[in-house]
Amino acid sequence: MVQDPRTTNRYLIYPLGSEPCLTHDARGATAMTVHDPAEPFAGLDALARLERLLDLEDIGENLFRGHTPPTDQIRVFGGQVAGQALVAVSRTVEQTRHVHSLHAYFLRPGDPKAPILYKVDPIRDGRSFTTRRVIAQQHGEAVFALSASFHTGEDGLAHQVGQLEAPQPEEVPDLATRAAEAPSDVRDRYARLAEDFPFELRFVDGLPSVESRGASPSARQRVWIRAPRAMPDDRVLHVCSLAYASDMFLIGSTLAPHHVDLRQIAATSLDHAMWFHAPFRIDEWLLYDQEGSWTGDGRGLARGHIYDRSGVLVATVMQEGLLRRRAGGGV
């Protein structure tokens, strides 16, 4: 790993190799050459793939390009687009200012076989706050939009409502153990997640929408997360990695009380908001305490509180998602 001399907040983690070309048609519209997604990620484990996908290419003024690791999924994981978009806006902000909030909309499914272009609009640079907006595009269409605000930080009043309510991570079974004990129809899914997801996961309340179903199921689910090894001392990298992780499982908390077969539900993130309250490291244990607040009209609303293991509230998340029964209720 080498540090990019242009900024202390950017790391060149792996050589880029051959990359897709950016072309312009007669109308000036940007076109993307579909790339081989395996090439930049070949031979990397899950955490290294995360670091690589967050290392965006700077290809022009306020213009960045990101890639997706090889996957058999038909759409890009929403947390990836959120994390990459946050990297893009962070690259245009003074290093003394740190993101304190973001608000985003998922507009179209992302194509995992095509690069994603991130065009940043530097809306405002004030004395204490900086505001940025970014649009993610593929095939000439917007797939994601994010606005973020950055703050210099200052002294002031302080309190938090709520506290960490969970056993420490060492007291909770790891994901591989949970998967081995799960029903056969979901065992492979969670065993694969243990291999592919870039973070260690320890579910306090059992696997989401599996062990939580019961006579009186709760809309609450709690999971400890951390990177499996030390990551660079780059605050932007840790924040953007948490943005990536924040999209995982959250909307599922709205389904837990309903006794539904998840294969009959199409669940898709619609919008996503985060507020960052205190410094943290993603390579140290964080508790993601999630709760489904409401379901209705084909949608669900969920909130999450993220604590470090000492009980400090480091981030708050809100997300609304589409909850649509599949045609015919089929599997």
- CATH label of the domain that carries residue 114: 3.10.129.10
The predicted model scores a pTM of 0.86
- What is the pLDDT confidence band of residue 101, given thresholds at 50, 70 and 90? very high
Per annotation, catalytic residue among 269, 289, 290, 308: 269
- The number of beta carbons lying within 10 Å of the beta carbon of residue 60 is 11
Q: What is the DSSP letter of 7?
A: -
- What is the pLDDT confidence band of residue 305, given thresholds at 50, 70 and 90? very high
SS3 280: coil
Report, as an integer, the average pLDDT of 22-47.
58
Report, as an integer, the average pLDDT of 69-74.
89
Active site residue 308: no
Domain range enclosing 305: 169-329
Above 70 in pLDDT, residue 36?
no
d(CA 237, CA 299): 32
Above 80 in pLDDT, residue 186?
no
- What is the pLDDT confidence band of residue 22, given thresholds at 50, 70 and 90? very low
**286-296 and 299-308 beta bridge pairing:** antiparallel
- What is the pLDDT confidence band of residue 258, given thresholds at 50, 70 and 90? confident
Active site residue 160: no
Which pLDDT belongs to residue 281? 98
122 and 198 belong to one structural domain: no
Q: Domain boundary residue among 151, 179, 204?
A: 151
Among 304, 275, 269, which Cα is nearest to 110's?
Answer: 269
Rg (CA), the chain: 20
Average pLDDT score, the chain:
85
187 and 258 belong to one structural domain: yes
d(CA 145, CA 122): 14
Active site residue 269: yes
176 and 136 belong to one structural domain: no
Q: Is the residue at 110 inside a domain?
A: yes
Q: Which residues contact 239 (CB under 8 A, 6 or more apart)?
A: 86, 90, 98, 99, 276
77 and 106 belong to one structural domain: yes
Per annotation, catalytic residue among 247, 283, 289, 308: 247
Q: Is the residue at 102 inside a domain?
A: yes
**What's the total number of domains in the chain?**
2
Which pLDDT belongs to residue 34? 47
Per annotation, catalytic residue among 147, 221, 241, 319: 319
Above 60 in pLDDT, residue 53?
yes
144 and 188 belong to one structural domain: no
123 and 221 belong to one structural domain: no
Q: Which two tokens stand for residue 79?
A: 């947390």
* Window from 64-68, 172-176, 271-275, 305-309 with minimum mean pLDDT: 172-176
Choose between 240 and 213: higher pLDDT: 240
195 and 300 belong to one structural domain: yes
Q: Is the residue at 162 inside a domain?
A: no
Which pLDDT belongs to residue 210? 52
- What is the pLDDT confidence band of residue 28, given thresholds at 50, 70 and 90? very low
104 and 17 belong to one structural domain: yes
Above 80 in pLDDT, residue 291?
yes
Which pLDDT belongs to residue 152? 96
173 and 303 belong to one structural domain: yes
